[in-house]
Structure 1
Amino acid sequence: MFGNAWVFGNAEVFGNAWVFGNAEVSGNARVFGNAEVKKNDDYMVVGGAGRYNRFTTFFKCRDKTIKVVCGCFFGTIIEFRAKVKETHKGNKHEKVYLAMADMVELQLDNDDK
């Protein structure tokens, strides 16, 4: 963590993750791996959704991928979608998790249009 970055609340940043610039990581966010959070719209936490109403953290990585932490799941957003379809096929939770992924891809899109 460097620059004007802040990490507070129950947030966790560990591993090779970078938090810098004017980013503020807070709440129940869990950012790790090769994360690169340099501004607040490089990550998103969605809470109270899915099968266990837990918090799910989505964050950008240095290689421009979006990673997901949800319970014991950690992987890319593509892997997250596949796991959701496998685990929750045809139920309400599948729809909620996939809608979350759609929303996050719109918000964290690298194209600032």
Structure 2
Amino acid sequence: MSRRISWISKRNVFMFKQISLPRADQPQTVLINVDGREISVTVGQSLATALLGAGIVPFRHTAVSGAPRAPLCLMGVCFDCLVEVDGSQNVQSCMVEVREGMRVRLPSGSRHVGVQS
């Protein structure tokens, strides 16, 4: 049974992305690397839910107080789920679907903005 749960605007644009589930003949899990650790996660998950499901909390600490932070909204609004993915910094993990071989680094330490003269 195929069921589509999404809302279409007047311009026929989907507001919500349909989660792609694997077919029966496709692998049900993929391996991702998180800070050097291999983790098996379910295909179709967002990176944030995969990390939370693997017990990886917190994702980062605040620069000022060092308070632990983890995803809050899971829809791309709060930016508490920022990680580095395959060398790209500040990726919203709640907006990215896991894929085989993905390399993830959790941020550590405070961020410094470079000043060029």
**TM-score of the superposed pair, with normalisation by structure 1:** 0.26
Which of structures 1 and 2 has the larger relative contact order (alpha carbons within 8 angstroms, sep 6+)? 2
Q: Which structure's residues are more often helix, by fraction?
A: 1
**TM-score of the superposed pair, with normalisation by structure 2:** 0.25
